[in-house]
Amino acid sequence: MKRLTAENVTAGLLFIFLIFYPLMASAYNVLNMSYFLSMVFLSLSLALIWGLAGIFSFGQTAFFGIGGYSYAIISLNLDIPDITFIVLISALLIAGIAAWILGYFIFYGGVNDVFVGLITLCVTLVLATFMSQTAGSQWKIGSVPLGGDNGINNIPSISIGNIISFERNYLYYLILIVLVVVYLLLRKISHSKSGYKLIAVRENRERSELFGYNIPLIQTMVFTLGGVLAALSGVFYVTWGGYISPSSMGITAAALPVVLVAAAGRKNLTAVILFTIIYYMFSQYLSVTGSEYALVVLGFTLVVVILLVPQGVFASLFQLLDRLLFKKK
């Protein structure tokens, strides 16, 4: 990572910009940026399992929802604001276990490629439909009503004891620090031995199996890790807004990470982060002028990107810059 490439320079500049952003921007914009950054984890989770390991999943929003709902239900049931940091970890654990179970059935069953996408899509849709019909008073976990389409409100923010409670700028920096750590870890992983294993699985499963790698185990592990990352995104999202509803898992929400990761360049983590942030900034601007065309634009982007720049727009841009500036082949 010490090499000077367009990707590394961009990543460095981006993170420096993000560190100083609260000094330049208004409190409102910082709050929005916290939201954008929390959604970056969702894109990263898909970039990890799709870009690196070649597992195509529509279901990252399911784990986003599981993480968010778990955090909401546990923290509201306990009603002790001081230990919500532990609740965060348990929410991630729950999502991880859910991802592991689903991954176990998918990968040990030898399901691959397109069908992983179909199963995860069906799971996501069923989960979203299930949560949206929980409006009645009989749908309660502990003392927390699930609320159907209205979702759950007044979810407390993350705190460690009564020392620090992550709100506003604190939340922003918490998310940013976790993002930098996750980003560096993922970069590190992708250039380590386990990263090469994942790439081997992506490129040729049969050959890797003949070399003695346990393919289903590797796939299940990385799928679980992806699920935990998506859940992290979900927890940050609910603590940011204090609110979660089934629409955050529905078909539109499930479409978004796929579009973002495909368009940015699924094998390039920096491209994914940058594109996600830019997309959310842009979409907030668009939603002022009318958003009924948003889905059409998204669908159109997907088709065009897949046809013309299958590597992804930003990833191709990085390559081009590398060739121009750093004389790489």
Structure-block tokens of residue 316: 């191709």
Residues 196, 49: contact at Cβ < 8 Å?
no
- Is 22 or 59 the residue whose CB approaches another protein more closely? 59
Which of 48, 106, 171, 249 touches another protein (CB under 8 A)? 106
Show contacts with another protein in window 245-264 (CB under 8 A): 251, 255, 258-259, 262
Structure-block tokens of residue 246: 């089934």
Distance between alpha carbon 27 and the CA centroid of its chain, in Å?
Answer: 25
Q: Does 105 bind another protein (CB under 8 A)?
A: yes
Q: Does 290 bind another protein (CB under 8 A)?
A: no
Cβ-based neighbours of 84, under 8 Å, separated by 6 or more:
71, 75, 156, 157, 158, 159, 239
Tell the smallest beta-carbon distance from residue 223 to another protein (Å). 14
**How far is the C-alpha of 81 from the C-alpha of 165, rounded, in Å?**
9
Tell the smallest beta-carbon distance from residue 259 to another protein (Å). 8
- Is 135 or 184 the residue whose CB approaches another protein more closely? 135
Show contacts with another protein in window 291-320 (CB under 8 A): 292-293, 295-296, 298-303, 306-307, 310
Q: Does 133 bind another protein (CB under 8 A)?
A: yes
Q: Does 82 bind another protein (CB under 8 A)?
A: no
**How far is the C-alpha of 318 from the C-alpha of 148, rounded, in Å?**
44
Alpha-carbon distances of 172 from 21, 166, 183, 243, rounded to whole Å: 10, 8, 16, 17
Question: Within 13 Å, how many C-alpha atoms sit on residue 243's CB side?
Answer: 7
Compute the Cα dihedral for 19, 20, 21, 26 and give only its sign: positive
Tell the smallest beta-carbon distance from residue 258 to another protein (Å). 7
Which of 94, 123, 152, 174 touches another protein (CB under 8 A)? 123
**How far is the C-alpha of 189 from the C-alpha of 182, rounded, in Å?**
10
Alpha-carbon distances of 2 from 15, 19, 42, 191, rounded to whole Å: 16, 21, 27, 13
Tell the smallest beta-carbon distance from residue 212 to another protein (Å). 21
Helix, strand, coil percentages (3-state) for the chain, rounded to 5, are 75, 5, 20
Tell the smallest beta-carbon distance from residue 305 to another protein (Å). 9
Tell the smallest beta-carbon distance from residue 296 to another protein (Å). 5
Q: Does 109 bind another protein (CB under 8 A)?
A: yes
**Of 24-32, 129-137, 185-193, 207-215: span binding another protein (CB under 8 A):** 129-137
Show contacts with another protein in window 215-234 (CB under 8 A): none
Compute the Cα dihedral for 75, 81, 83, 88 and give only its sign: positive
Question: Within 13 Å, how many C-alpha atoms sit on residue 84's CB side?
Answer: 27
Show contacts with another protein in window 42-61 (CB under 8 A): 56
Structure-block tokens of residue 121: 């899509």
Which of 19, 27, 89, 129 touches another protein (CB under 8 A)? 129
User: Rule CB under 8 A: which residues touch another protein?
Assistant: 56, 105-106, 108-111, 113-115, 117-119, 121-123, 125-126, 129-130, 133, 251, 255, 258-259, 262, 292-293, 295-296, 298-303, 306-307, 310
